[in-house]
């Protein structure tokens, strides 16, 4: 279904890079030609490991709304364990989609609200791409490839351009490789029907 503005909500834990991923997604949307793009974090008790939310909006026209996204079209879940803590499907529009970082297939999940589900093993793809620093796997950027595949709303080429802008040199190429693996490895329950209209 067409929207004048696509709204995205990210669920992660402190330290997993949801805010950074949302910022890179906004940049990629801009490269794709969207005139209105926003990225904003929403913190509760700020500590490493605590559930956090970040949001995006993108549209073909300028955006003047900066409030919390309450009825997202797309939800990205960086940490599968959050499904036991947070209702990630809360407020998602009926034709929306939830993308989960997991090794499981979409049919393994049953959320509180019936919704389209996509999965990609972003952590595995990040590890295979060498995105490991001090023992921590950096999969927040990898899942952006899954976003491109699951939604079709932002091109992988623009994701790659934004990643290279944020991470120059070898680090950028590792991030691009991880995003490509996630793109190829993403599984979607039903084809996403979301579209952004002018």
> 18 near 11, Cβ under 8 Å?
yes
Question: Residue 43: its pLDDT value, please?
Answer: 63
Q: Is 169 left (phi over 0), alpha (psi -120 to 50) or beta?
A: left
How many other C-beta atoms lie within 10 A of the C-beta of residue 187? 17
Domains annotated for the chain, with CATH where assigned, are: 2-188 (3.40.920.10)
Dist CA 15 CA 46 (whole Å)? 10
Q: Which of 158, 153, 146 is nearest to 183 (CA)?
A: 146
* Each residue's pLDDT expressed in tens, for the chain with a length of 198 residues: 788 999 999 999 988 999 999 999 999 999 999 999 999 887 655 566 788 899 999 999 999 887 889 899 999 999 999 999 899 999 999 999 999 999 999 999 988 888 999 999 999 999 999 999 888 899 999 999 999 999 999 999 999 999 999 999 999 999 999 999 999 999 999 999 999 887
Question: Residue 30: its pLDDT value, please?
Answer: 96
**For the whole model, what pTM was predicted?**
0.94
Dist CA 71 CA 4 (whole Å)? 14
Question: Residue 20: its pLDDT value, please?
Answer: 94
């Amino acid at each position: 279904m067409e929207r004048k503005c696509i709204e995205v909500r990210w669920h992660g834990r402190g330290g997993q890079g949801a805010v950074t991923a949302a910022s890179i997604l906004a940049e990629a949307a801009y490269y794709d030609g969207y005139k209105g793009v926003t990225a904003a974090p929403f913190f509760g008790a700020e500590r490493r490991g605590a559930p956090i939310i970040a949001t995006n909006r993108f549209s073909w026209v300028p955006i003047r709304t900066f409030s919390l996204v309450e009825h997202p079209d797309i939800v990205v879940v960086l940490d599968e364990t959050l499904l036991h803590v947070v209702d990630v499907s809360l407020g998602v529009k009926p034709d929306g989609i939830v993308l989960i970082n997991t090794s499981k297939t979409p049919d393994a999940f049953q959320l509180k609200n019936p919704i389209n589900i996509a999965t990609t093993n972003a952590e595995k793809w990040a590890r295979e791409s060498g995105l490991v620093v001090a023992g921590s796997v950096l999969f927040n950027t990898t899942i952006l490839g899954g976003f491109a595949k699951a939604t079709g709303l932002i091109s992988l080429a623009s994701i790659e351009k934004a990643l290279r802008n944020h991470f120059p040199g070898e680090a950028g190429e590792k991030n691009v490789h991880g995003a490509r693996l996630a793109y190829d490895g993403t599984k979607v329950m039903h084809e996403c029907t979301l579209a952004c209209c002018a």
